[in-house]
């Protein structure tokens, strides 16, 4: 297929490919183009990591396009590498989905509820160049020709594919699965792949077990640099036996174009950058790792799956995609966050019918989403419904929810101080905490003999009316902020709560007293209180105007 007949424009297929997405990021000012030489083995991921650990706010994070890639052997690569282009920030993620930020949740719910099956094509950009046979063997050939970075220099044992979407198929029902796993390079034509075997782990692992029972190797294709709407589905945990490519079609609002792989009987996204085809051994395993994992610790050596490469295909001018993993926040956690939160919210609101759950927020920094989950509840929700929501969250996934905390809408779960404030004043450890035993250990570092874990459920919602928050009312804080700026004082970054508001225990009379005081009429208030004197009381006795 010549260039003139190939559908490069987004509108011709209904979704952007990776290179179009990167171009959109550059137009939006969300791309660092690095033309200086950068060593993929020692410098690349460490450089990008600084935007997560260097005090740069989430809104300031960008994608990095490396056009002059080198390695520790002095080689130069013609293929550029893109890092951070899928979920380096929420704005990057939003652009990848092609929706406004406040529509991210809605588009995921729609995609999960209304998947669109892919459409088969016979010619595909991802197969413009085909490498197989002897061209896969030897230094500088096959996998060794790809600019695969080392993710955690100083700890990782090899360059690792981190943005790979692995296509496998159930040998019994023929349904494909798309999962994001790690794969370490072992030779120009061999990888070792880690598919999680825990409950709720890799969708490809049950396929591997079935092929092992059949005494057959498992066909597999690694998709690198697929369209963003496809890449976003790989890390998600959709219902078993639902093809993630159909969910990707739901995200795009159009069927994903797929083509049959060259050497394995699998369908792969046609508009991808690179496809690595091969067979996974179901008899032998090989030591794999160390590798810096998304749970924030180094994964030590395990026996994992041997992937023998049978073919590599790619575009004529491909772009190699890599994502930042390890300690969160990272790209691997940001890709999951929105879809995971919507999965829990849909479960609580629709399956369990708890409409008073407003939002589900999964804590990201250092804890990798799964460990700490916040439920934002409407104020006044009955305690029975709060506890149904807490227990329903803990029950949904075996590997999520070590700590599940319910808060009200005035608490920002991303503000640690606000969370501690809610715990300090709205929860009673003797009444508002439950411990669930015998939970799965989930995604985390290995160590010791522990095989099970527990879950702590905390109701930190407001149980009764309370006095207002002791900060000036909003109007006074806004006026003071304007004054601050007129005085050219240092720039402000408001943190919630930044103004006072009622928590239920406040009446019109007290409101009038406060208004009188701000008008300079405190003497009037003194005359009023003088008339209300009483004797025979103990100091600190509350005053309440009679409602009779």
- Residue 4, pLDDT score: 32
For the segment 253-275, the average pLDDT, to the nearest whole number, is 98
Residues 6+ apart with CB under 8 A from 506: 467, 468
* 461 touches 406 (CB < 8 A): yes
Give the mean pLDDT of 526-548: 87
Q: Which two tokens stand for residue 211?
A: 């092929």
The DSSP code sequence of 204-268 is HHHHHHHHHHHT-PEEEEEEES--HHHHTTTTS-PPTT--HHHHHHHHHTSPPEEEE-SSSS-EE
Token couple for 467: 């006095």
First to last CA, the chain: 86
Which pLDDT belongs to residue 486?
95
Place of tokens 């990848």: 96
Q: Which two tokens stand for residue 364?
A: 């990201």
By three-state DSSP, how is residue 162 classified? coil
pLDDT of residue 12: 65
Confidence at residue 10, expressed as pLDDT on a 0 to 100 scale:
45
Mean of all residue pLDDT scores within the chain: 92
Two tokens at 119? 């459409």
Cβ 367 vs Cβ 337: under 8 Å: no
Q: Which range has the worst mean pLDDT, 200-204, 252-256, 304-308? A: 200-204
Select from 119, 86, 114 the least CA-distant residue to 13.
119
pLDDT score for 495: 86
pLDDT of 444 higher than 90 = no
Residue with tokens 């395990």: 302
- Mutual orientation of helices 90-97 and 331-346 as an angle, nearest 10°? 70
CA dihedral 165, 166, 167, 170 (to 10 degrees): -130
Mean pLDDT of 435-461: 81
**Is 142:136 a contact under the CB 8 Å cutoff?**
yes
How many H-runs (helices) and E-runs (strands) does the chain carry?
14, 26
What is the C-alpha to C-alpha distance for residues 375 and 245, in angstroms, rounded to an integer?
30
Q: Are 247 and 112 in contact (CB under 8 A)?
A: yes
pLDDT bucket at 160, cuts 50 / 70 / 90: very high
What is the mean pLDDT of the segment spanning 10-23? 86
CA distance 340 to 360: 9
Cβ neighbours, 10 Å, residue 351: 10
Does an H or E element contain 20, and which? helix 18-27
In the chain, % of residues over pLDDT 90: 79
Mean pLDDT score, 539-548: 78
Q: Name the percent of the chain lying above pLDDT 70.
A: 95
What does the pLDDT read at residue 448? 53
pLDDT interval class at 328 (50, 70, 90): confident
Would you state the pLDDT for residue 450?
59
The confidence score (pLDDT) of residue 399 equals 84
* pLDDT tens digits, 509-530: 999 999 999 999 999 999 999 9
For 365, the token pair is 């920094």
Q: Which two tokens stand for residue 535?
A: 């004797």
Helix or strand or coil: residue 525?
A: helix
Three-state SS sequence of 507-524: CHHHHHHHHHHHCCCHHH
Q: How far is CA 301 from CA 194, 198, 297, 383, 476, in A?
A: 11, 17, 13, 46, 59
Does the pLDDT of residue 11 top 50, yes or no? no
pLDDT of residue 206: 95
Place of tokens 């009038």: 512
pLDDT single digits (tens) 239-248? 777 899 999 9
State pLDDT tens for residues 397-413: 888 999 999 999 999 99
| Domains of the chain and CATH, by start | 3-322 (2.30.110.10), 352-459 (3.40.1670.10), 474-530 (no CATH)
- What is the pLDDT, as a whole number, of residue 85? 97
SS3 144: helix
Q: Report how far residue 307's alpha carbon sits from residue 263's, in angstroms, rounded to the nearest whole number.
A: 14
Question: Confidence band (pLDDT; 50, 70, 90) for 284?
Answer: very high
Whether residue 252 is predicted with pLDDT greater than 80 in this model: the reply is yes
Q: Tell me, what's the pLDDT at 311?
A: 98
pLDDT digits (tens, 9 = 90+) for 495-505: 889 999 999 99
Q: Is the pLDDT of residue 9 over 60?
A: no
pLDDT of residue 33: 97
Cα separations in angstroms, 441 against 197, 240, 404: 12, 21, 15
Given pLDDT bands bounded at 50, 70 and 90, which one contains residue 331? Answer: confident
Structure confidence by residue, pLDDT tens digits, 48-82: 999 988 989 889 999 999 999 999 999 999 999 99
Residue 8 has pLDDT above 90, yes or no: no
């Amino acid at each position: 297929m010549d260039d003139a007949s190939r559908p490069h424009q987004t509108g011709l297929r209904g979704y952007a490919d990776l290179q179009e997405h990167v171009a959109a990021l550059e137009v939006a000012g969300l791309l660092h183009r690095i033309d200086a030489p950068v060593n993929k083995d020692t410098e690349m991921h460490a450089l990008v990591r600084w935007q997560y650990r260097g005090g740069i706010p989430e809104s300031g994070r960008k994608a990095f396009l490396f056009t002059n890639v080198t390695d520790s052997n002095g080689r130069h690569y013609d293929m550029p590498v893109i890092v951070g282009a899928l979920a380096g920030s929420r704005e990057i993620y939003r652009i990848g989905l092609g929706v406004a930020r406040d529509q991210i949740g809605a588009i995921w719910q729609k995609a999960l509820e209304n998947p669109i099956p892919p459409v088969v094509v016979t010619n595909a950009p991802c197969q413009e160049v085909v490498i197989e046979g002897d061209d896969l063997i030897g230094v500088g050939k096959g996998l060794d020709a790809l600019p695969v970075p080392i993710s955690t220099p100083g700890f990782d044992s090899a360059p690792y594919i981190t943005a790979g979407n692995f296509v496998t198929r159930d040998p019994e029902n023929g349904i494909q699965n798309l999962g994001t796993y790690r794969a370490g390079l072992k030779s120009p034509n061999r990888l070792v792949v880690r598919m999680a075997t825990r409950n709720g782990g890799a969708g490809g692992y049950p396929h591997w077990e079935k092929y092992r029972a059949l005494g057959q190797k498992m066909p597999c294709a690694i998709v690198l640099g697929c369209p963003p709407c496809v890449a976003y589905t790989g890390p998600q945990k959709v219902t078993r036996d639902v093809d993630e490519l159909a969910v990707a079609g739901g995200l795009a609002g159009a069927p994903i174009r797929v083509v049959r792989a060259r050497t394995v009987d699998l369908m792969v996204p046609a508009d991808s950058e690179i496809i690595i085809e091969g067979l996974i051994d179901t008899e032998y395993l090989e030591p794999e790792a160390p590798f810096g994992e998304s749970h924030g610790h180094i994964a030590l050596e395990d026996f994992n799956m041997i992937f023998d490469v049978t073919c590599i295909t790619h575009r004529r001018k491909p772009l190699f995609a890599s994502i930042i993993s390890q300690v969160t926040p990272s790209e691997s956690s940001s890709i999951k966050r929105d879809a995971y939160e919507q999965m829990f919210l849909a479960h609580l609101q629709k399956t369990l019918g708890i409409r008073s759950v407003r939002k589900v927020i999964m804590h990201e920094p250092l804890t990798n989403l799964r460990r700490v989950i916040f439920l934002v509840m409407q104020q006044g929700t009955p305690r029975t419904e709060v506890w149904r929501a807490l227990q329903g969250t803990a029950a949904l996934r075996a590997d999520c929810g070590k700590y599940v905390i319910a808060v009200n809408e005035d608490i920002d779960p991303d503000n640690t101080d606000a969370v501690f404030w809610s715990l300090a004043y709205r929860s009673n450890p003797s009444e508002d905490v439950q411990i669930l035993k015998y939970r799965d250990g989930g995604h985390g570092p290995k160590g010791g003999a522990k095989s099970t874990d527990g879950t702590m459920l905390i109701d930190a919602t407001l149980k009764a009316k309370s006095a207002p928050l002791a900060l000036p009312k909003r109007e006074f804080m806004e006026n003071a902020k304007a004054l601050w700026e007129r005085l050219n004082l240092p720039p402000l970054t408001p943190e919630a709560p930044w103004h006072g508001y009622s928590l239920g225990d406040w009446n019109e009379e007290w409101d009038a007293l406060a208004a009188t005081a701000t008008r300079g009429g405190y003497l009037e208030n003194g005359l009023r209180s003088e008339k209300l004197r009483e004797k025979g009381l103990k100091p600190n006795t509350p005053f309440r105007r009679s409602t009779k």
